[in-house]
Structure formats: C-alpha cells, structure tokens
Amino acid sequence: MNRIIILTPLIILLIICIFSLTYLLSGKDPNKPPSALLNKNVPSFESTSLYDKKEIIRTTDIINRKTLINFFASWCSPCKIEHPLFFEIGKKYPELYLLGFNHKDTNSDAKKYLEDDGNPYDFVGVDSDGLIALEFGVFGLPETYLINEEGKIIYKFMGPITIDILKNEIEPLL
Amino acid sequence: MKLNHFFRVFHITILSFVFFTFKTFATGNIDERVKKLTLELRCMTCQNQSIYDSDAEFSNDIKKIVKQKLQEGKSERDIKRFLVERYGEYILFRPLMNYNNIFLWSFPFILLIIGLFFVLIKTKTKKA
C-alpha cells in the first residue's frame, strides 16, 4: 500500500513529462524557427518601385488579392536558384500578384540582376535599409510569404523554394 | 572689460564641458543598455549565440534597431514585445511569463513539492 502511495506521484509526473515532451516536440523542426507572423495580418509597409521612384506600393494595395511576397537581392546566391520558379508560378497563376522586395541592394545591381535573369515580379519594391524585412521578421534571404485576400500571412518559407515545396506546400494554398 | 570677456569665455568653457560630459555619459548609458538587452536576445541565424556576441548581419540589424528604439525612449519591455511580435518568443533566451509558459515556470516548484512529499513519506516510514 505504502509503495503505491509513493509510486503514484512518480508515475503521474512521468506521464506529464511524456505528454509535455510529445506536445513540445511534435511537428517542430529545430532548423526552422517558428514564424510569429503566420496567420496574422500582413505588416504595414510602403515601398517605392525599383524602376520608378514615383510608383509606391503600400499594404492596402495588396488587400483583396492573393499575393506572393519574395525578399531577394542580387548578392544572394540562393535567390538565383529559386528565381526561375517565380516565372512558372506567374504563368500558372496569372491572378496571383507577385511582389518582390529587393533587400539591402543597390538599385543598379538589382536592375542588372533582373535584366540578366529576367523579372518575374509584378512589382519590385525597394527595401534598401532592410526595415520592411524587419517588419516581416525576415532572418535571411531568400524568404517567401503568401498573403490571402484578407491580408493574412498564410504561409512563410525560409530559403530557396524548390519544385517540391512549390507543389506540396504552396500550390495547395493557391 | 577684460574681466567681463574672461567670464564669458569661462562660462562657455564650463557649459561646453557640461554638455559634452552629459552627451558622453548618455551615449555610454545607451550602449550599456543595448549590451544588456542584446545579451538576452538570441541570434536566429547562429548556433546558440546572443545578438550581442554575434556579428551576423541579422544581429547587427537588431543591434541597430534596439539602439534606435532606446534612443527614441522606448522601454526594454516595449522593444522585446516589438521583436517577439515579428520573430516570435524564440528570439528571447528567457521565456516570457505568460499562460503558455505556465508549465515551464511552475515545473521546478512541482518537482520541489513532489520531492518534499517523498521526504515526508520517508521520514514517516522511518519513524514508524
């Protein structure tokens, strides 16, 4: 009887620990830190066009249309890997608005990059000081966000997008 | 007239000294606060390094924004909240005291109570 009294709290503790560990570790990849902005409203931003300083894009301009936001730079090698995929996305989903943010780059380098590799974006905004990236919680380039019609971030991907990611993770949301 | 001129120069010297001393002190103070706060923040692109210890671009950006916000008069709590809203609680080395983390914070006390319970049972059994 005494043993049962002693062992019961231990067993309860063990069960609590197992449940907590399972809950904490379920579906979490330590290499992918969680995104705080997922399922939240897109942060407010304002950016000028890479090609025309008079052209400005604001948060309000992307509400009511599905938008794919991609942070890129000419100095970012992984960005080059995913770049051709944005042409495919643009062709397959013409109603999807492709917004590129050129991050901490010079205008001339960015223009040359888009001239050489092509420009798949509907609008290229300038984020030279990195403040827009900071609002989006960007850690490193490239990063891609999918925004729904209500202006909520429904998907975020860190690193270069691959065909598998496009087919398995992005396309089901489009 | 000469004495008057001397006093004027003396006043300007003293005022300049006070101004520069205050400015140096204020900047030093801000730098100390930046250090203290960034030591509590995790560099998201490094392996177990604080923002303060890291030279990664991400860390340098955060250091800049922390300094800027402190100069604007924002409190450490406000800055932490600003960063957590964007990067999640993961950016903090010390988890926040909230309902989500209640188990985490209370677990040592639960263990302590269970330990005391065992000690009590053992003492009682020995006495018997």
Task: Tell me which of A29 and B106 has the higher pLDDT.
Answer: B106
CA distance A94 to A76: 26
Identify the pLDDT of residue A174: 86
Identify the pLDDT of residue B22: 58
pLDDT at B15 over 80: no
The domain total for chain A is 1
Residue A67 lies in a domain: yes
Q: Where are the domains of chain B?
A: 2-96, 98-128
CA distance A68 to A5: 59
pLDDT digits (tens, 9 = 90+) for A136-170: 999 889 999 999 999 999 999 999 999 999 999 99
Residue A12 lies in a domain: no
Residue of B nearest to A133 (CA): B86
CA distance A68 to A63: 12
pLDDT digits (tens, 9 = 90+) for A103-121: 999 999 999 999 999 999 9
Residue A21 lies in a domain: no
| Interface residue of B46, B48, B85 to substitute, partner A, most A CBs within 10 Å | B85
**C-alpha distance from A33 to closest chain B C-alpha (Å):** 7
Residue A3 lies in a domain: no
Residue among A48, A41, A79, A60 at smallest CA distance from A157: A79
pLDDT digits (tens, 9 = 90+) for A30-74: 556 567 888 899 999 999 999 999 999 999 999 889 999 999 999
Of residues A2, A34, A140, nearest to B58 (C-beta): A140
Identify the pLDDT of residue A36: 81
CATH code given to domain B2-96 = 1.10.8.640
Identify the pLDDT of residue A11: 82
- pLDDT confidence tier of residue B41, bands split at 50, 70 and 90: very high
What is the number of CB-based contacts under 8 A between chain A and chain B?
45
Residues 2-31 of A with CB under 8 A from B: 2, 5-6, 9-10, 13, 20
Element holding B109 (H helix, E strand): helix B102-127
**C-alpha distance from A171 to closest chain B C-alpha (Å):** 25
DSSP letter assigned to residue A83:
H
Residue A13 lies in a domain: no
For residue A91, how many C-alpha atoms fall within 13 Å in the half-sphere facing its CB? 6
Q: Which two tokens stand for residue A174?
A: 């489009």
Cis peptide before A142 (omega within 30 of 0): yes
Residue A144 lies in a domain: yes
Of residues A2, A43, A137, nearest to B87 (C-beta): A137
Residue A8 lies in a domain: no
- Domain of A40: which CATH number? 3.40.30.10
Which residue range forms the structural domain that includes residue A56? Answer: 35-173
